[in-house]
Structure 1
Amino acid sequence: MIGINWELKFGAAVSDHNFVGVCKELNEQLVTLHEKIHDLKRNYEHRDKMSLPAQIDMDLSLALALNSLYWIQLRIEGVDLSDHPIKHELIRLQKAMKRWRQIQDSKKRPTMDIAAAKRFIASGLNESSVLQPANKKKKLD
């Protein structure tokens, strides 16, 4: 992979099969993550050719991914994140993604034909309120 040596050397811990298994699984996940980020970088180079909704999707996804990785790094380093700016940024990004989803979903909702609704209401108001069903006989006084 692109300039990174992914080979693990366990030294004395090679006899701990549980530790080795967890490390190898983590290594595989990191390789996959590295490939995904590389794909995002390659796609980002063509961002200007994308539609605006696709650009927004990519920007939000990329921002959330990178900030989440930074959060993970800080957690691994033992930094107190209770009032760290990255926490507020992640919350802001989650709100932005939720708002973007609402905007996307609103485009999928059915819309009302205003002209047809006005005609329907007008015809309903013009009818007599004492109309009887067509199949009912009229009473003669």
Structure 2
Amino acid sequence: MESDIDFGDLRDDKLIQQKLTNFHNSVQKIGKIVELSSNPDLYEKLTTKEKVDFDLFMAYTLNTLFWLYMKTKGEDPNKSEIKNQLNRVKEYMVKAKDANDKAHRPRVNQAAAARFIKHGIHYKDGDEPEEPPVKKMKLSD
């Protein structure tokens, strides 16, 4: 992997070079995403669902980056408020997913359900069945 990183004393260690290069590339990708998020024209073109997904993604990403920052400083992020914030964003991700899935659930055919109820219930207060309504019968001679 060719990169513009000066590895100095680590130029012989290919494993560390690869990990540092991957890290550097990931940081650049994050920078591009953050740069895109500051463009209001792109954000306005998104649908409501895409805006919700994007906002949740950004909230989770920034909280995760802060969690990583605390970890690099030697602090325990699990004892800080950042853990609660990450859990809160996860809860909203689940809520957003559930809200989106409601649109794809099967719908009840109300007319058919009404017919089932109308013709299927022959019980009143007790367990004894009610007599079905008498139909007029034509007697033919």
Deviant stretches of 4+, over 4 Å: none
Distance 1:46 1:17, change over 3 A: closer
More helix by share: 1
The 5 A counterparts of 1:15-30 are 15-30=12-27
Normalising by structure 1, we get a TM-score of 0.72
Q: Distance in 1 between matches of 2:45 and 2:17?
A: 45
| Match for residue 4 of structure 2 among 1, 4, 7 | 7
Judge conservation of contact 2:37–2:43 (CA < 8 Å) in 1. Answer: no
The 5 A counterparts of 1:54-93 are 54-93=50-89
Kindly report the root-mean-square deviation, in angstroms, between the aligned alpha carbons of the 2 structures: 2.5
Structure 2: segments with no counterpart, 5+ residues: 123-130, 133-141
Matching residue of 1:137: none
Count of aligned pairs: 123
Matching residue of 2:135: none
Distance 1:23 1:46, change over 3 A: closer
In the alignment, is residue 34 of structure 1 matched against residue 35 of structure 2?
Answer: no
Distance 1:46 1:29, change over 3 A: closer
Distance 1:49 1:14, change over 3 A: closer
Q: Distance in 2 between matches of 1:94 and 1:13?
A: 39
Structure 1: segments with no counterpart, 5+ residues: 1-5, 130-141
Q: Deviations over 1:109-140 (max 9, x none)?
A: 001122321122213347x78xxxxxxxxxxx
Judge conservation of contact 2:10–2:17 (CA < 8 Å) in 1. Answer: yes
Q: Deviations over 1:34-54 (max 9, x none)?
A: 223333333x54333433222
| Match for residue 47 of structure 1 among 29, 32, 43 | 43
- Residue 86 of structure 1, CA deviation: 0.9
Normalising by structure 2, we get a TM-score of 0.72
Q: Distance in 2 between matches of 1:81 and 1:36?
A: 24
Q: Percent identity?
A: 24
Distance 1:10 1:68, change over 3 A: same
Q: Distance in 1 between matches of 2:19 and 2:50?
A: 37
